[in-house]
Structure 1
Amino acid sequence: MRISLIIVSTLLAGSALAQSASPPVPKPQINVKTDAVLVKGGPSLGDSDRVRWDFYKADSAGGQSDENVGGAYDATFEEKIPPGKYVAVASLGNITRQIPVEIKDGAVAEVTADFNAAQLTVVPKRSADSKEAEPQARVDVKQGATFSDSIYGSKQIFVPAGELALEGRIGPARAEGTVTVKAGETISHDLIIPSGVVYANAVYKEGGKAVETDNIRFETVSTEETLDGTRETLTGTYGVNKLMQMPAGSFIMRARLGKVMVETPFTVTAGQRVNVTVNLNAGVLAINAKDAQRIDILETTKDLQGTQKEVSGRYGTTHQETLHPGNYSVKVTYDDKTKREPKIVTATVTASERTELNITD
């Protein structure tokens, strides 16, 4: 009986050991491994999400179909994909490579993308002596019709080896350049976009009150006129003391408020701020006419036909306008039902002053 107990104990112990020792978990089988390099024979880009791999089934002609069977952000991508013919697409930034590959059972297909690329940092500056990159600058980097990328401020991007065209802009300012890079290198390149910033303000007269309304419109225009007598508008804004980006050079600041339009020349120096103050030489005429249907402001002089040119007008009992100094005719028209004749009075506008006209009878 004792011998039987020993045998049973031994069997139970063996069973417990068998249950506690789990069989090793088999490693997942793979049949495709990828790698990527900047230059042939160069170091691997490694475990990096800078590279994107996608595997598309090949179509009947061996090209890329729309059916994606797998992919990941990783230069060293490993996966098990159903056997067949594929087009592996590797992307590094805006650079892509397409690699035909056939995956078979029992074998591992190794696919390497040679991007033949460099790491380029474009540093856009307003002037050659600027110490900092301009964050408002946009730079387009192109190589023929096969590569294009855009950056704002200073940023490192991957670019194909060879000559690259650079197109920079800060507002209306433009600049072009080229840079040549070799595969595998890391370089920085300055792109000078000669430009500055302009802040526009206005006064009603020299030494007079400053304009504060946001109704004023500022526009920067070229100094040269086209064949039809107009000037190219570069940029514009409503309100005073607003930042405007401008290329370096000579321009005209055009200010409009009410019926007043004044132009003042100014110059922009690369990397500098310019403050431009426009003298409107203007005043404000405010009219209140009881029971009026419409109020019109006219020039006092008449043409050969005896008519007066209309300067400004609106329907209602009140009207306000910004005008150059001088005498004006104010015509008040009443509703036909009142059977009242239009009333015409003269008003004088003085620079940097507000003239209030009350017409009650």
Structure 2
Amino acid sequence: MNLIKLFSGACVALAMVVPVTSAEQAIIVLDGSGSMWAQVDGTPRIGIARDTLSEVLSTLPGELELGLMTYGHREKGNCGDIELLVAPASGTAAAINAAAAKINPKGMTPLSDAVRLAAEELRYTEDAATVILITDGLETCEVDPCALGNELEAQGVNFTTHVLGFGLTDEEGRQVACLAENTGGKYFSADDGAGLVDALGTAVAEVAQAPEPEPAPVEHEFNLVPQAVLAEGVPYHNELGQLVWEVHAVAATGVGERLQTEYDSGAKFNVEPGDYYLRATLGGATVEQKISVGDGELAEPVVNLNAGLVKVRAVTSEGEVPNSNTQIRISYGDDRSTEFGEGTFRLPAGPLEMEVTHDSVIYTEEFSLTAGEILEKDINLHAGFMEATAIYAEGVDVTSNQLRYGLMSARKSIDGRREEIDVEYDTSAKFYAAPGDYILKTDFEAVSVETPITIVDGERLDLVVNLNAGVAAFTAPGVERMAIYEAGLGIDGTRREVTTKYDVEWQYAFAEGDYVAVGQFADDVEYEVPFTVIAGERVEVEVSEAAAAAAGIAADQPASSAPAAEPTEGKKKTK
């Protein structure tokens, strides 16, 4: 199914959200962010949205109370760019079409605030209301959609949100699905392929409490009733997870166009007599079976999923609860499934590879799953936790978020190097690591400190890294280049260069000690100014002719200038 058909079907489903009464209203929140210019088969997503809305709205009853809201359509970078284009009312089809035609995607994705504003517009704390969010991206404005779903559910009279995601990965889908699920709605992904439109139509019809159609005569109600088993003698039931049934046409190359979709046990189809492919999908297990439906006959094929379940619960150490940052990935063949902290995997029988990771800690296991089997695995990563913060000196914190913390192996390789295991960039660093000895290398501007540490299984280490450093602030009017050197000479008789800058004013952190600032000015004139950095303190350094003279150091002159005075101690060579 292409996305144009999918979008059209989704909009048809949206019309089912609100019954044709004044008891409930609905607002469609249509993504107007910049990503809606992405193309599908050469057509921008926003164009598909406009065309399908126009087609579907023309079929809606005039008394349907429907509104339209969008976001990100007026300016870039503004999380408040949300606008109710059409207030919910009956007979709004033409107004919605006209408003959608003017949407010019360009900005952010404040989907959570948009849903909140739509709910408030519908007076969700007083009346039954439904919001339908259509988005091709995730929240970009630092609002938690899961928390919003809980809030709207708690405060609403009978409030529901449905979320339709386009082009989202499984992980991205989880980040917005909770907005629907926490309000009693459902999340559907365009990338699921099979049955998305039919499933959304079924879900919103239930919410709308639309009157059920008159039952058709029994002989015409259905003629295909499939059954599924996990394995021979192990029947499938709904508690094992959602089972997706698809009926496909038979094509010259095999499985053809999808014709119908149903879910879970008790699926029933009414199809024309003929040959079909029946596809059953449970999680990562998919089985296709060719079937025939005779004229006036009831077909009841049994599909063996040849699948099992793996329930995994992973913790960083004994006594801890599963952490959502712990990734559990199980690979089977060329495919893989991922959960976080804990989860149930529905997979085809056969060899499996599991990898559980949290920061630098990795656990791997290879095992086999038998059809019909339900495996339970409790994984303990046996990790310890460390949080590190840095100070200039006792009582003087480093508040910059530009620190680099590198967790390195304590042992050096044969060439004298240490392996960097993990890295964090922020004011502080948090690491989970396997038990053992490490070196924490803390880098901040011109300062670098290595601290030996030991990580213990299940224990927390709070580390304060004393940089034994201060800050030097430089002013050098007219300087073209400034180099900072350690004051002392190395074994080869030269000074080690610490850093080089090209700014007139700047500041930097240095380890406590003596230094020399060498400023290069126009016509290759240089001035040297010595300075001392004291841990936890700030020193102001002026690099100029006057400052160099005050320090007893004469300026270097270019070769074309008059001979300089006899050099004093610390004077640089004439260029």
- Give TM-score, length-normalised by structure 2: 0.52
1:32 counterpart SS class: coil
Aligned equivalent of 2:256 = 66
Is residue 2:296 matched to residue 1:112?
no
CA contact (8 A) 1:252 1:263 kept: yes
Gap change, CA 1:66 and 1:197, over 3 Å in 2? farther
CA distance in 1, matches of 2:361, 2:339: 16
Aligned equivalent of 1:140 = 329
CA contact (8 A) 2:284 2:348 kept: no
Aligned equivalent of 2:285 = 95
Aligned equivalent of 2:538 = 354
Question: How many positions carry a matched residue from both structures?
Answer: 331
Is residue 2:528 matched to residue 1:344?
yes
Is residue 2:541 matched to residue 1:325?
no
Aligned equivalent of 1:26 = 217
Deviation per residue, 1:190-219 (Å, 9 max, x gap):
0122223321112334x4523222222111
Is residue 2:391 matched to residue 1:203?
yes
Give the superposition deviation at 1:180.
5.3
CA contact (8 A) 2:326 2:340 kept: yes
CA contact (8 A) 1:69 1:81 kept: no
CA contact (8 A) 2:405 2:429 kept: no
CA contact (8 A) 1:222 1:231 kept: yes
CA distance in 2, matches of 1:47, 1:31: 26
Among 319, 344, 348, the residue aligned to 1:130: 319
CA distance in 2, matches of 1:304, 1:44: 78
Counting only pairs closer than 5 Å after superposition, residues 103-252 of structure 1 correspond to structure 2 as: 103-127=293-317, 129-143=318-332, 145=333, 148-161=336-349, 164-178=352-366, 182-205=370-393, 207=394, 209-252=396-439
Gap change, CA 1:96 and 1:82, over 3 Å in 2? same
Gap change, CA 1:256 and 1:24, over 3 Å in 2? closer
Among 449, 455, 468, the residue aligned to 1:268: 455
What letter is aligned with 2:260? Answer: G
Aligned equivalent of 1:84 = 274
Aligned equivalent of 1:253 = 440
CA distance in 2, matches of 1:79, 1:176: 43
Give the superposition deviation at 1:173.
0.8
- For structure 1, the 5+ residue unaligned runs are 1-22
2:461 counterpart SS class: strand
Aligned equivalent of 2:229 = 37
Aligned equivalent of 1:14 = none
Give the superposition deviation at 1:359.
4.2
What letter is aligned with 1:26? Answer: P
CA distance in 2, matches of 1:102, 1:330: 87
Gap change, CA 1:25 and 1:167, over 3 Å in 2? closer
Give the superposition deviation at 1:85.
2.4
CA distance in 1, matches of 2:215, 2:311: 50
Give the superposition deviation at 1:48.
8.8
Gap change, CA 1:349 and 1:124, over 3 Å in 2? same
CA contact (8 A) 2:231 2:305 kept: yes
CA contact (8 A) 1:198 1:245 kept: yes
What letter is aligned with 1:349? Answer: V
> Counting helix residues as a fraction of each chain, which structure ranks higher?
2
Gap change, CA 1:183 and 1:140, over 3 Å in 2? same
Among 462, 469, 476, the residue aligned to 1:282: 469
> Counting strand residues as a fraction of each chain, which structure ranks higher?
1
CA contact (8 A) 1:295 1:315 kept: yes
Is residue 2:499 matched to residue 1:315?
no
Deviation above 6 Å: which 4+ runs of structure 1?
A: 303-306
Aligned equivalent of 1:20 = none
Gap change, CA 1:131 and 1:188, over 3 Å in 2? farther
CA distance in 2, matches of 1:90, 1:304: 75
Gap change, CA 1:305 and 1:200, over 3 Å in 2? closer
Gap change, CA 1:25 and 1:239, over 3 Å in 2? closer
- Give TM-score, length-normalised by structure 1: 0.80
Give the superposition deviation at 1:93.
0.8
**Worse overlay, 271-280 or 154-163:** 154-163
CA distance in 2, matches of 1:279, 1:46: 58
Give the superposition deviation at 1:248.
2.8
CA distance in 2, matches of 1:269, 1:125: 15
Aligned equivalent of 1:4 = none
CA contact (8 A) 2:241 2:282 kept: no
1:33 counterpart SS class: coil
What letter is aligned with 1:194? Answer: H
Q: Which has the larger radius of gyration?
A: 1
CA contact (8 A) 1:36 1:76 kept: no
Instruction: Flag the structure with more relative contact order, 1 or 2, with Cα contacts below 8 A and sequence separation at least 6.
Output: 1
Deviation per residue, 1:50-70 (Å, 9 max, x gap):
11111222344xx63332222
Deviation per residue, 1:209-244 (Å, 9 max, x gap):
232222221111122333443322222222333323
